[in-house]
Amino acid sequence: MNNMMITSAAFTHNSRIPLKYTCDGANMNPPIAISGIPDGAKGVVLIMDDPDAPRGTWVHWTVWNISPSAADIPEGVAPRGGIEGVTSFGRPGYGGPCPPSGTHRYFFKAYALDAAIVLDQNSSVSMIERAMEGHVLASAELIGLYSRAGR
C-alpha cells in the first residue's frame, strides 16, 4: 500500500505557487515535505517538471539520493545529501516556474527507491528515470499552478 505523500507549507495541491518561488520572485525552491516513505527505502528522488511547456515537458528540478530521514526540504535549500541534476535550464539546481503564457501545471514528483542511484550532477532526467527502473517502492505527486501577470 502506497501511503507516501508530498506536500508544501507554501501551497496546496492544484493551487497557485506563490510568486516567491518563481522567476518573478526570489526563484527559490518552496518548502517540501515527503512523508510515508516506506521502510527499506535507501533514497528519495524528487523531480519537478512542467508538462505544459510549449516545446514539451520542461524540467525545473531534479534531486536524487535524498536521505529518507531528511525528506523535509526547507525553503531555498537543496535537500541534505541529495544530488541536484541538470534541468532544462542547462544547469543543476532549482529553476522556478516561468511560463511564457497562460497557466501551467508544475508537478513535484517524489519516488522512494530501494537502492541509491549512481549518477553525477550532469545527469539528465531521462538518465535518472532509467536508473530508477525496477527500484521504485512508492511515489507521490503534488501539483502547483502558476501564470505570469499580464501574460
The answer, yes or no, to whether residue 20 has pLDDT greater than 80, is yes
2 confidence band (pLDDT: 50, 70, 90): confident
- Give 149: exposed, middle or buried? Use CB within 10 Å, 0-12, 13-18, 19+: exposed
**What pLDDT does residue 150 have?**
54
pLDDT in tens, 74-100: 999 988 889 999 999 999 999 999 999
Q: How far apart are CA 145 and CA 58, in angstroms?
A: 14
Q: Summarize the confidence of residues 120-131 as an average pLDDT.
A: 92
